[in-house]
Amino acid sequence: TTEGMANGLWPISWIVLNAVFFHNLTIASGDFDVIRRSLTRLTGDRRVQALLVAFCFGALMEGIAGFGAPVAISAAILASLGFEP
């Protein structure tokens, strides 16, 4: 039914909306440049950067927030670092 579909899509859209808000907030505040510099200082290899963001940062976010937020936030960070979706 339509109500069931809305019930199923609401949490997903809420996570995506918050991930976009988090990404825009880090860009506007300039904190994303700190994250970018830290990752490039840590390693210049883009493969290792992808692993750090996807697995290490993703696992941290899963422990803190849970419910799929790490996927949306990690994807936004990887896209901002220049990785193709």
Which amino acid is residue 29, in one-letter code?
Answer: S
**Contact (Cβ atoms closer than 8 angstroms) between residue 78 and residue 50:** yes
3-state secondary structure 38-67: HHHHHCCCHHHHHHHHHHHHHHHHHHHCCC
Delimit the domains of the chain by residue range: 2-80
Q: What per-residue confidence (pLDDT) applies to 29?
A: 92
**Contact (Cβ atoms closer than 8 angstroms) between residue 77 and residue 35:** yes
pLDDT digits (tens, 9 = 90+) for 30-85: 888 887 888 788 888 888 888 888 888 888 777 777 677 777 778 877 887 788 87
Q: What per-residue confidence (pLDDT) applies to 4?
A: 92
Q: What per-residue confidence (pLDDT) applies to 22?
A: 79
Give this prediction's pTM: 0.57
In whole angstroms, what is the distance from residue 40 CA to residue 32 CA?
12
